[in-house]
């Protein structure tokens, strides 16, 4: 895979084909998360793979923008220690998620994050212990429309380089 191309073209996919994801594909995606870097190599995460349609529908009700979980053939829910303990916990989880999303992209699998708001309900649904929390899940599936996987970035889809980059000091441009 061309990493630069993956970074440039990967789009959030929220509509999926019903085709199940092969076991080996899911395993490679999960393993990419396992490889992610983390602060002091603490690896503050557990990954719960969910394929049961009813459980996915229940998860989709746990956040106002989580509905895409309901239509996905699979999801990986990222479980972390309470991020109030250390600022880096969610930073680390974000990297594991990004690695999994790039690995998915290489497999032709679309993905989108879903923020979970109902934290206690998520714990009940997935059965993880009280010192862990699920702030985010990742929908996974072949896109309903194949071309969507790397559709052209919307114009204005990202802030301009001028709005983002500074040279040596804040406000200085190259
Ligand atoms: C921390 C985080 C939480 C997100 N939560 C949601 C969500 O709850 N629902 C959703 O549809 N997308 C969610 N997204 C996906 C973003 O909306 C998406 O990455 C962004 O709009 C860029 O999409 P694009 O790469 O297709 O341009 C989340 C992304 C991140 C990084």
Domain hosting residue 113, numbered range: 3-151
Comparing 16-30, 60-74, 92-106, 138-152, the range with the smallest average pLDDT is: 138-152
More confident residue, 160 or 152: 160
Which of 135, 117, 97, 122 has its CA nearest to residue 12? 97
Number of domains making up the chain: 1
| pLDDT at position 98 | 98
CB 33 within 8 A of CB 100: yes
| Residue reference for tokens 């923020």 | 115
Query: Does residue 167 belong to any structural domain of this protein?
Result: no
Ligand 1 atom nearest 154 alpha carbon: 27
What pLDDT, in 10s, does the model give residues 90-105? 999 999 999 999 999 9
Query: Does residue 33 belong to any structural domain of this protein?
Result: yes
Residue in 80, 100, 112 to alter for ligand 1 test, most ligand atoms within 8 A of Cβ: 112
Global pTM reads 0.96
| pLDDT at position 152 | 74
Comparing 8-12, 52-56, 62-66, 86-90, the range with the smallest average pLDDT is: 8-12
Query: Does residue 104 belong to any structural domain of this protein?
Result: yes
Domain with residue 108: its CATH number is: 3.40.109.10
Ligand 1 atom nearest 63 alpha carbon: 8
End-to-end Cα separation, the chain, in angstroms: 32
In the reported structure, the alpha carbon of residue 174 is separated from the centroid of ligand 1 by a whole-number distance in angstroms of 31
**CB-CB neighbours of 140 under 10 Å:** 28
| pLDDT at position 1 | 66
Query: Does residue 158 belong to any structural domain of this protein?
Result: no
Query: Does residue 65 belong to any structural domain of this protein?
Result: yes
Query: Does residue 37 belong to any structural domain of this protein?
Result: yes
What pLDDT, in 10s, does the model give residues 111-157? 999 999 999 999 999 999 999 999 999 999 999 998 888 777 777 78
Query: Does residue 164 belong to any structural domain of this protein?
Result: no
What mean pLDDT is predicted for residues 58-74?
Answer: 98
Query: Does residue 165 belong to any structural domain of this protein?
Result: no
**109 pLDDT higher than 90:** yes
**7 pLDDT higher than 70:** yes
| Ligand 1 pocket residues where CB is under 6 Å | 11-12, 14, 63, 65-66, 68, 112-115, 136, 157
The DSSP 8-state label assigned to residue 146 in this structure reads G
- The packing angle between helices 23-34 and 88-106, to 10°, is 150
């Amino acid at each position: 895979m061309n990493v630069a191309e993956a970074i440039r073209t990967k789009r959030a996919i929220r509509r999926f084909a019903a085709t199940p994801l092969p076991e080996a594909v899911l395993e490679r995606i999960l393993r990419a998360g396992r490889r992610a870097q983390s602060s002091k190599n603490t690896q503050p995460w557990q990954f719960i793979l969910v394929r049961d349609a009813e459980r996915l529908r229940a998860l989709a009700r746990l956040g106002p923008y989580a509905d895409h979980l309901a239509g996905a053939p699979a999801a990986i829910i990222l479980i972390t220690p309470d991020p109030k303990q250390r600022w880096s916990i969610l930073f680390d989880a974000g990297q594991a998620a990004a690695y999994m999303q790039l690995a998915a992209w290489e497999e032709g699998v679309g993905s989108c994050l879903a923020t979970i708001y109902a934290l206690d309900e998520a714990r009940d649904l997935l059965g993880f212990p009280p010192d862990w929390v699920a702030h985010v899940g990742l929908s996974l599936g072949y896109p309903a429309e194949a071309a969507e996987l790397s559709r052209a970035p919307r114009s204005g889809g990202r802030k301009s380089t001028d709005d983002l980059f500074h040279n040596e000091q804040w406000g200085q441009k190259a």
